[in-house]
Structure formats: C-alpha cells, structure tokens
Amino acid sequence: MDHLTIIKVGGKVLEDPVAAEQFLSAFERIKGLKVLVHGGGVTASKLQQELGQDAVLIDGRRITDEQALKAVTMVYAGLINKQVVARLNAGGYLKAVGITGVDGAFITAHQRPVGEIDYGFVGEIDDVDLGFLHTLLTHFFTPIVAPITATDKGQLLNTNADTIAQEIAIAAARKYETVLMYCFDLPGVMADINDPKSVIPHITPESYTKLKHDGKVAGGMIPKLDNAFKALEAGVFAVRICQAADIVTQGGTTVMMG
C-alpha cells in the first residue's frame, strides 16, 4: 500500500508571506505522495470588505450569500490556489495541480440545511470519489485543493477546508496508508495553552480519555481531536497536528489508535 500524506494548512499560514514560504518549502520536501488542502478566509474577508460587503462569520463559518460565494470562489480557487501552485512548480521538486472539489466532480456536496442560522451557500460533503485524485497522484502530480465544492445540479458551495481534508483522508484510506496533518499556528496539542513546551507528542483513545478527565485538553481542541478519532476509526493511519515548520520533523502531536 502506497503512503499518502494529506495536509490541511490554515489561511493564516499561507496569508503571511514569511510563514507561507517556510511552509511551502517544507511541503515540497515531504517524501512520497501528498495532497495539500488550503483555506484563505482572511483574504476572502478582505476582498468582501473592498467590495463593500459585510464579512459575517459565526463560529468561524462564513455566512455565504451570493456575493460572498463569488468572493470566496475568486479568492480560494483563483488567487490563493494559483499563487501556491505557481510557487510550488517554480521550486522544481514537484508538479502541483490546483483543483477544487468541483473539478472532476470529485467531491459532491449539498447545501447545509437552514437551522437556527442560515449559512447560505455552504456545503456539506456527501461523497469523495477518489478517481480523479488517484489519476493525478499516479502520474506524479500533486493536488492542491481549494475549499469549493458543488451540488450535482452545479451550485457552487463554500466548504470547510478541515472537513474536506478529513473526508479526502477517509476516502483515500481505502487505497493508501494515509496520514492526515492539520498544520496551523500552534506547535500541537498543548497540556498548557501558555507553554509551547507542553506539547503532547502522542494521543491514543486511552490517553485522550485521561487528558480530558484531567482537564488538559479543552475548548476548541476537543472537536478537533474528536474528528481525528473519527478519521482513525474510518481507516486513516494517523492524524498529526503541528506547526508549519514541523511538517517534515516528528514535531507536534500524533493521534493514533495505539
């Protein structure tokens, strides 16, 4: 079974030129098959403001009306995706191909039902068809995925990049030994949020129960880790949570079943 690394990198990393260059030059040196999933929320909000739109986010999710959908499609699939792809291809280590879930119709999604909040044109993923990604990987192209999907009727949808990375990883786990990495601006899961040296290097289901009981993981980290275990249960080999600089080291936190 071939090894595949799927990396989600946050907009905050890619939108800072120094952090972006550090991340991308680490990314291109990762051995083996790999897929990058990126965001770009800060740039999208900035474009919305320049266009006189209000950028409204609730719990980090953007209220995506028709105008906001145009803005995120332009920023994610256009500007950021092509800047990243051009930079990676200039490096000479790999051949990057920028795509969205719309391309090859490899992700199908439906619009999130209206609950207490109407998020508008926001996607929830129904299915990941690995065929298109597999074709690219087999021919040594590195997919760079922007977080836009569409319904089977052709409606574009703004879709959470963390979820896209996770669903790609789960689908890929049937064909590849898959490692899913969340790369953000913290050094990993920390027992003390104020102490970067308190990174917990390994988390298993048993240690996770104890960490929660001891109050050493809390807040926003709990849904992240719950999702990590969901991915592991669905066949993903390991989930890593780390800083941009650590993607080629063994730094950060590795979540595994045992």
Q: Which is nearer to its own copies, 102 or 189 (CB)?
A: 102
Binding region for its own copies (CB under 8 A) out of 13-21, 90-98, 119-127, 226-234? 90-98
Task: State the minimum distance, in angstroms, from the CB of residue 12 to its own copies.
Answer: 20
Give the list of residues 6+ apart from residue 224 with CB closer than 8 angstroms, or none: 162, 182, 241
* 28 DSSP 8-state letter: T
Between 12 and 46, name the residue whose CB sits nearer to its own copies.
46
- Among 150, 172, 203, 217, indicate the residue that binds its own copies (CB under 8 A): 150
SS3 state at 122: strand
- Regarding 87 and contact with its own copies (CB under 8 A), the answer is yes
- Can you tell me which of 56, 63, 79, 130 binds its own copies, judged by CB under 8 A? 79
Phi, psi of 70 (to 5 degrees): -60, -45
Q: Identify the residue among 5, 64, 100, 253 touching its own copies (CB under 8 A).
A: 100
Handedness of CA 201, 205, 207, 208 (dihedral sign): positive
The DSSP line for 51-108 is TT----EETTEE-B-HHHHHHHIIIIIIIIHHHHHHHHHHHSS-EEEEEETTGGG-EE
> Residue 153 or 197: which CB sits closer to its own copies?
153
The neighbouring-strand residues paired with 149 are: 157
Per rule CB under 8 A, is residue 167 in the interface with its own copies? Answer: no
CB-based contact 182:241 (threshold 8 Å): yes
CB of 33 to its own copies, least distance (A): 15
Decide whether 13 or 102 has the Cβ nearer to its own copies: 102
Q: Could you give the CA distance from residue 240 to residue 204 in angstroms, rounded to a whole number?
A: 12
Give the footprint of its own copies on this chain (CB under 8 A).
47, 50-52, 70, 73-79, 81-83, 85-87, 89-91, 95-100, 102-105, 132, 135-136, 139, 141, 148, 150-156
